[in-house]
Structure 1
């Protein structure tokens, strides 16, 4: 395989089936990093990035997509510029903007680069969060950045910019949420899709231990059970996916190191939901468990 990056030795070993072990997988992930439910998820993402392909992390809210992107950035020893998409995202938010500056006493117009231009110039990762929240007419600005050309014509300076070695794109998407729009085929075809499921079982237990103040084994096991129940209820349509957010579970675990667990669940999970029926369902689960 021809690498797009000068890969750290540990990553090279992970991509080599003859050298791959459970130990070198677990050693790669720093405490607090994203530990995938299975090794293939990490290997596939690393493989795609190492060949210069863009990856699209697709999964429910709170599943750990941003943490996954941060972990990949760390593994590649690559800084990462971020874009948080919304309906207000425009060319200036992506590319940069012009402003007045001074050279001595002379007033000049200066271009201030945005995250796309900065990541291209520095040869680093670009993370585009909630990419399907952006207006459909905005993202085609960077189509050339996302394909084999790795170039863009700066609309503010007319300069043609080519990305330096090491540049790569990681995007994340939550499907079916209010305010999102389907990605057009031209954009979607520029990505390799990595499905990111909820973390469960031993992986979640390890994550709680490393990312929260809660260290009581019995209590951690109960929160792991609660998370499994919430994921199952969301899958069955009894709850919105927001209710099963791993981020919310971690918040509840943190709080429960100080306040009673049922109150922690109420503050961190149930109270975030709009429907009273869903809140009552969650608190009923919490009451049964705790």
Structure 2
């Protein structure tokens, strides 16, 4: 199922979908940049979130996706690149990310000094979607160079080189998880340059849609138990009983993939969930939750009954 069909099934506003497709057709893209368009087979679920994001991008706004761990912020950013047909440049902020990482730095090529373009520079001239992952971990000097690109001016001044006017299709998408160690509060000047979309924690219905889309061949009753593990851990974390380390949707999906491959479910869930925390006491709590949901007697055929059928055929 393509992304358009998925949005239609989620009952996303038809007019917004049509205008997003017009945007894609209007801003043509060079063949050599096609590989930078996200081509995910997984989709973000959340009608209102989708509508806010699409409407903001159509109006020329940059968006900031804020929310706890495992809510699909990066998946939504990928899906938006796919929907609008725009190349994507990703920047993961950390302590060593500075302005040269974003804009570029001098380098010696063919016996002369030239600018080696950074991700924001490339995004600006090609009309791409620039994703700033964990933007609240960025240093102030790294963010300061972006202010003129993120507001109404839509320009970047590169000292010693040129003034870059942003391509009209260029948008920036920030993601932030306010629970991670090393994060900080964003200053008002930066936040004012984004439309902020707060993504809530994953709920039962949404989680099952994600898992069913990823594992249509799974036993639905057993799949519900795996979803229950995630939701139970999420509740424990919200109540302050454990950290958020074991609340890992990627880990849960990875566990189910290895089970489908033939790995024992207990070993798989230990890799994908339990192993994400290194505190002995927390491991015991996580293990207890898993044991209430997953039987030690289960094998691959219990969770993916069609696997053995395919092999026998």
Q: TM-score range by the shorter chain?
A: 0.7 to 0.9
The reply on whether 1:129 has 2:133 as its aligned counterpart is yes
Instruction: Give, in angstroms, the shift of residue 134 of structure 1.
Output: 1.3
Aligned-partner Cα distance in 2 for 1:143–1:31 = 30
Q: What is aligned with 2:86?
A: 78
Q: Determine if the alignment matches structure 1 residue 60 to structure 2 residue 64.
A: no
Question: What is the root-mean-square deviation of aligned Cα atoms in Å?
Answer: 2.5
Unaligned runs of 5+ in 1: 1-7, 21-29
Structure 2 equivalent of residue 201 of structure 1: 204
| Secondary structure at 1:244 match in 2 | coil
Relative to 1, partners in 2 of residues 1:124 and 1:250: Cα closer, same or farther, differing over 3 Å? same
Residue 224 (structure 1) aligned with residue 227 (structure 2): yes
| 2:47 maps to 1:35 | no
Offset of 1:218 from its aligned partner? 2.5
Q: Distance in 2 between matches of 1:57 and 1:71?
A: 13
Distance in 1, matches of 2:242 and 2:214, equals: 25
The one of 223, 237, 240 equivalent to 2:240 is 237
TM-aligned CA distance change 1:200 to 1:119, over 3 Å = same
TM-superposed CA distance for 1:199, in Å, is 3.0
**Secondary structure of 2:145's match?**
helix
Give me the whole-angstrom Cα distance separating, in 1, the residues matched to 2:138 and 2:55: 28
- Give 1:50's match in structure 2, choosing from 40, 52, 58: 58
After TM superposition, list the pairs within 5 Å mapping 1:71-150 onto structure 2: 71-102=79-110, 107-150=111-154
Q: Distance in 2 between matches of 1:164 and 1:92?
A: 20
Aligned to 2:311: none
Which stretches of structure 1, 4 residues or more, deviate above 6 A after TM superposition? Answer: 10-13, 17-20
Q: Matched residues in 1 for 2:16 and 2:221: separation?
A: 39
**Paired residues of 1:251 and 1:268 also in contact (CA < 8 A):** yes
Could you tell me which runs of 5 or more consecutive residues in structure 2 were left unpaired when the two chains were aligned.
Answer: 19-38, 295-313
Does structure 2 retain, via aligned residues, the 8 Å contact 1:200–1:227? Answer: no
Q: Which has the higher contact order (CA 8 A, sep 6+)?
A: 1
Distance 1:218 1:14 in 2: 29
- Normalising by structure 2, report the TM-score: 0.78
Contact 1:63 1:247 in 2 (8 A): no
- 8 Å contact kept, 1:80–1:119: yes
Does the alignment pair 1:163 with 2:128? Answer: no
Correspondence for 2:24: none
Aligned residue for 2:63, secondary structure, equals: strand
Q: How many residues matched?
A: 267
Q: Distance in 1 between matches of 2:16 and 2:179?
A: 41
* CA contact 2:16–2:55 (8 Å) conserved in 1: no
1:19 CA drift (Å): 9.2
Q: Deviations over 1:35-83 (max 9, x none)?
A: 32x3111101111111011111111222211111000111111111111
The aligned counterpart of 2:267 is 263
Superposed displacement of residue 251, structure 1: 1.6
Query: Does the residue aligned with 1:278 lie in a helix, a strand or coil?
Result: helix
Residue 18 to residue 31, structure 1, CA distance change in 2 (3 Å): closer
Aligned to 1:26: none
